[in-house]
Amino acid sequence: MVINTNTTAQNSSDLLATSSANLAKSLQRLSSGKRIISPEDDSAGLAVSMKFDAQSKRIGAAVGNISNAISFTKTQDGYLGQVTKALNRMSELAVSAQDTTKTTTDLSLYDKEFKELGSYVTDIAKKDFNGVSLFDNTVVKDVTIDSDGGKFTMTNINLGDTAYTTATAGALTSTTLAFTALGNVKSAITKLASDRAQEGVSMTRLNYAKDALTVQKTNVDSANSIISDVDVATESTNFARQNILVQSGTAMLAQANVQGQSVLRLLG
């Protein structure tokens, strides 16, 4: 029996330190919800998790871009719906102005409304969305639609097109001018129908891209969760185990330290 070196106490102390460290690690996992607290826990898993996390954030940013682009196209279509009503009314006025029973005064009234509607269409052509022109044909509008920076180019709607400007510049002061104005407005309506159809194509494409990214983000987040998130049920069991080991280790260390006192009996 020796008193300078208590190997039993040293072994108990080492085991207690290990159990205490494991208990602290388990407590960190449960409180943070993360399985990987430090790189030493799973270095490869941490590397994969970091890439998944970055990809998820890029996908989220792309979804935001697409959502804004969809809002842009919906705003466009809202204005184009009003342009449709204006052109329809202008075509109606152009037909009414060709009535030979109408006087010059009647034609001037038709012409006044016709010009006001034309001015309304011209004003809409100047509208913008968050400072970006809605109907400027000179700016290419590329929308980022994936986490790798892939682009989709929206088709521009140009209300400054000749078909529109010619229609809005017409006059109804005579039956001859009214006939010409009617032809021009019909051409503008045809152009508008084509523009709105193309806008619908862009909106559909953006919605599909958004839906695909939403599914992709869910899958990426799920894969990342498997790697980085803690299984609470399993970790709770481990926590209870480590807690018992710490308590029993503390008790056994106390017993190991007491063993040396038996030497006093030999000395007495």
The tens digit of pLDDT for each residue in 82-130 reads 999 999 999 999 999 999 999 999 999 999 999 999 999 999 999 999 9
End-to-end CA distance of the chain: 15
The tens digit of pLDDT for each residue in 111-123 reads 999 999 999 999 9
In a 3-state reduction of DSSP, which class is residue 152? Answer: strand
Query: What whole-number distance in Å separates Cα of residue 135 and Cα of residue 119?
Result: 16
Q: Which pLDDT value is given to residue 259?
A: 65
Name the pTM for this structure.
0.76
The tens digit of pLDDT for each residue in 167-206 reads 999 999 999 999 999 999 999 999 999 999 999 999 999 9
Which of 192, 182, 183, 207 has its CA nearest to residue 79? 192
Q: Is the pLDDT of residue 70 over 90?
A: yes
Do residues 127 and 83 make contact, with C-beta atoms less than 8 angstroms apart? Answer: no
How much is the mean pLDDT over the chain? 85
Half-sphere exposure of 21 (CA within 13 A, CB side): 7
The tens digit of pLDDT for each residue in 8-43 reads 767 777 776 777 776 777 777 777 667 777 777 778
Mean pLDDT of 213-230: 88
Q: What pairs with residue 133 in β-bridges?
A: 128
Neighbour count for residue 69 (Cβ, 10 Å): 24
In words, the CATH class of domain 44-227 is mainly alpha
Give the residue, 253 or 63, on which the prediction is more confident. 63
Residue indicated by tokens 């919800």: 33
Strands 132-133 and 141-144: unpaired
Which of 90, 87, 88 has its CA nearest to residue 172? 90
Mean pLDDT of 261-268: 61
**Helix (H), strand (E) at residue 129:** strand 128-129
Residue 2 region, left (φ>0) first, then alpha (ψ -120 to 50), else beta?
A: beta
- The token duo for 170 is 């017409």
